[in-house]
Structure 1
Amino acid sequence: MLNSFPQVMTIAGSDSDGSAGAQADLNTFFAREVYGMSVLTACVAGNSFGIHASQALTPDFIDAEFEAIAADFKVRACKTGMLTNRETILTVANQLKKHDFGPLVLDPVIITKHGALLLADDAFNTLKSTLIPMATILTPNFYEAQKLTGIELNGPADFQAAGKALLNMGAKNVMIKGHHTTNQEFVTDYVCLADGQELWLSEPYIETTHVNGTGDSLSACICAEIAKGQSIESAIRTAKQFVHQAIANPINVGHKYGPINHHAYK
């Protein structure tokens, strides 16, 4: 049957070293046995030592990517990554309103897992007002959840309050990724679902420099599992396990900050 194989799409930047961005998403899609395609928003020249240059793609070109995919394929679910600036965010939002690309997994790439700000204020406010209300699942990290809600996450009650605030912003389901700090015993994520269910998902903390692309891969795995017909809860649980195994079984690539192992989870 035409277009019967599960197809998914990442809307993200290209990371030349393959450890994060669209490349990490596509590696995840391949590992989870769905067909992945991409709408690139920017190109980043980088390696395991760091980022050396970047170039945002134009709204016209991003529009052309969306239109080419919409004209030929049946995308069952999509996810976002780095959206660069306000113009890109508005372009993506307009395309998601124009075409049916299935449920949206919104990975709000606002702040890194180490707390570095990635979006200017105008882009941040635009993402908050236009894309969060469109999100089937919103997957902020610890710092992003604090930035979006204004709530300091010091304990379980704070995570619950932040989750409720994000649901009130329009996201249908929320997964707040736990803090990563040296010497902690576990990484615990908080999930609040549209049906009112709450989940606390914990895995042992692993001290390693091979963690590039963890957030990208987690949201990509959720996207892939939804496209295969899994429930939101099941998709999130699989993604948590997928990323944990990818970190726990490192591959020796690069000199410094390396990628996770997308082949580890079976």
Structure 2
Amino acid sequence: MRGLLNILLLVLMLFALAILAVSSFVAGGLIPLYFILVFVGAAKREAKVKTKIEAMLMPDESVVASIIEYRAMALFRRRVSIVITTSRMISVRRKILGGYRMLDKQWKDLSNAQMDENIFPALFGTSLSFSFLEPEGSSLGVGGGSPKDAAEVYKYAQSQEQAWAEKRRIRGIEENRSFAGAINLGGLFQAAGGSSEVSPTDAIANEINSAKSLLASGVISDSEFQEIKSKILSRRF
């Protein structure tokens, strides 16, 4: 929808300039100047961005896919390009007076990837949006680009999202097991000659409260907390 609005605004702007051009030589020159600045040399600028990114890649890092916004989605600003590599996602936006602004995100921080096909995809393309865990609420996106390029970027991002989600799940299980093992050791030490001032009931309460603290801090999930709680109670009774 944004691309359609851009085109309507462009038509209105050109119409207004055409009216002014009848009585003003300067206004008449703005129309060709706009098209020169926006469209002439676009392919060379795209190639320059790719060369720039390839030159800054780390050892053993390679480009997997890339996408750049269609011009219809950025008639009044610089287009955004996203390049994905084997280790990160890079967003590139050219500045108005030259130069680039680059922002990269690690795959380990990717929390969600979305792809939306715009109206008239041949003209407005497909939109991509990515959200990340760190910093909280951060995101990257492209308003609309080549559907083919968008599919390649989205497919690889999805595979990375699922892979890192599984790694985080496994790490959480390992931390849960480590915590449960620490509780077991604590119980053994108390049974073997710990402080006689701590009653079994107090020991159970302390262990469950420790698990509650981990639940509140997000280290373990509710189901993992219930599992630890059951182990504590079954060991004591």
Shared fold per TM-score greater than 0.5: no
Give the number of the structure whose residues are more often helix, by fraction. 2
User: What TM-score comes out, normalization by structure 1 length?
Assistant: 0.23
User: What TM-score comes out, normalization by structure 2 length?
Assistant: 0.25
Q: Which has the larger radius of gyration?
A: 2
* Higher relative contact order structure (alpha carbons within 8 Å, sequence separation ≥ 6): 1
